[in-house]
Amino acid sequence: MPALTGRRIVLGVAGGISAYKAVEICRRLVDAGAFVSTVLTDDAQRFIGALTFSALGSEPARTSLFGADGHGGNGGEGGNEPIPHTRLGRRADLVLVVPATAKLLGKYAAGISDDLLTATLLATRAPVLIAPAMHTEMWEHPAVQENLATLRRRGVHVVDPESGRLAGGDTGEGRLAAPERIIAAATEILTASGDLRGVRVLVTAGGTREPIDAVRVITNRSSGKQGHAIAEAAAQRGADVTLVTTTERSVPAGIEVVRVSTAAEMEEAVVPRASAADVIVMAAAIADFRPLAPADRKIKKDEGLSEIALEPTHDFLVDLGRTKPAGQVLVGFAAETEDLVENAAAKLTRKGLDLIVANDVSQPDAGFEVDTNRAILLDSLGSIEEQPLQTKRELADAILDRVRPKTTDQPDSAEIRKDP
């Protein structure tokens, strides 16, 4: 997978001659899969236009704390936003400033927030990475060095400038670090901050298709959206993800994908991979019955087909529950139309699961096909938590929040996280 798939980066650009290099960095971050929101200071726009970043970034560049109407920031998803700096900062996984000028460092160290970039820097709780660039004399000035020391002490990451040719033909220290170094530093911070880093997650998705004959199948209404959302969310949180899916949906590079069709193929793909997984999320809607003797040719209409004999498929989730290695977290789904909690709780026990995601699929805004979902999470420790109506991605994150990654101080701790 591109190293930064789905990670949200706020790219702040301050007013220095090397602002043009931020364009290349923006493009490379987007190529690496990141969602890049650019914020330009007024000075930055004297060197480079916002349009360039709007074209290359993931959304229109922002330039102001206040929109044209004075009520909110410009640009970004949905245009005017009431409080863009807090929204930007809150959802960012990283705030990266290229170039960080002497003025920017001074304001940031002093806690001045008089534009969208400095306000975002103060509002965010995400890691911040700055790449200073300025003339050697300015770089060496005690005020700049003290500001930098203050920022480092507060946990700000710094890619130090290099020695080389500066604007105006001078040579010396202060030249912006090479884009490769800045990207490498950003990648390292983002990879290290994923809470599922190193966790091996196996996800199934979609409804199986059981052949009746060479052209007809018995299937169900599962779209695979929820399972795919879980796989993508896990990957973005640093997990090593394998997705076994019945759908043709595109999957971000880096997630191992196995495309299957029938319940038997699903079992063949999942079972050999199961013991190596720390977490298994069985979001697929696997057929409970399949035609007993599918024809290997198309049954002609004139032949008639008044009934289809079915046989049960093998519920291999039960096997996974029985043979679960210590520490593995097994998550199942329960699609129900009645007695949601009772049925899901019974499945949780019967299948030896750690967590079950109970869906009332009779609701029009939850379950099959739609982009939203409403679920109840039941765990083996007896907790029952009702999730609000939310996007499938949000539910994916809520499910993953309950899967504790292995840590060195908890060698056998892949277990369900119990809410306090």
Report the residue number, 118 or 313, with the smaller CB distance to ligand CTP.
Answer: 313
Q: CB neighbours of 248 closer than 8 A, spacing ≥ 6?
A: 259
Does 316 sit near ligand CTP (CB under 6 A)?
A: yes
Report the residue number, 317 or 396, with the smaller CB distance to ligand CTP.
Answer: 317
Does 317 sit near ligand CTP (CB under 6 A)?
A: yes
The pair of structure tokens assigned to 59 is 């959304």
Report the residue number, 313 or 373, with the smaller CB distance to ligand CTP.
Answer: 313
Does 17 sit near ligand CTP (CB under 6 A)?
A: no
Does 335 sit near ligand CTP (CB under 6 A)?
A: yes
Distance CA 345, CA 339 (A): 10
Q: Where are the beta strands (DSSP E) in 14-136?
A: 35-40, 94-100, 128-132
Of 263, 277, 279, 330, the one binding ligand CTP (CB under 6 A) is: 263
Q: CB neighbours of 349 closer than 8 A, spacing ≥ 6?
A: none
* Residues 282-311 as x/- pattern, contact with ligand CTP by CB under 6 A: x-x-x-x-----------------------
Residue 310: what residue type? L
Element (H, E) at 353: none
The distance in angstroms from the start CA to the end CA of the chain is 34
CB of 105 to ligand CTP, least distance (A): 52
Which residue has the CB atom at the shortest distance from ligand CTP?
A: 317
Alpha helices, DSSP H only, in 124-204? 136-140, 142-153, 179-193
Report the residue number, 183 or 281, with the smaller CB distance to ligand CTP.
Answer: 281
* Residues 336-365 as x/- pattern, contact with ligand CTP by CB under 6 A: -----------x------------------
Of 104, 334, 376, 399, the one binding ligand CTP (CB under 6 A) is: 334
Q: How would you classify the pairing of strands 157-158 and 128-132?
A: parallel
Piece of the chain touching ligand CTP by CB under 6 A; list 184-192, 226-234, 300-308, 326-334: 326-334
Q: Of the candidates 37, 44, 43, 42, which has an alpha carbon nearest to the alpha carbon of residue 75?
A: 37
Distance CA 336, CA 23 (A): 50
Q: Specify the 3-state DSSP secondary structure of 184.
A: helix
Does 202 sit near ligand CTP (CB under 6 A)?
A: no
Does 313 sit near ligand CTP (CB under 6 A)?
A: yes
Q: How would you classify the pairing of strands 162-165 and 171-175?
A: antiparallel
Piece of the chain touching ligand CTP by CB under 6 A; list 58-66, 82-90, 240-248, 331-339: 331-339
Of 332, 361, 373, 404, the one binding ligand CTP (CB under 6 A) is: 332
Report the residue number, 212 or 280, with the smaller CB distance to ligand CTP.
Answer: 280
Q: What residues are annotated to the active site?
A: 220
The pair of structure tokens assigned to 115 is 């534009």
- Token pair 């490769």 is at which residue? 180
Q: Which residues would be at the binding site for ligand CTP (CB under 6 A)?
A: 263, 282, 284, 286, 288, 313, 315-317, 332-335, 347
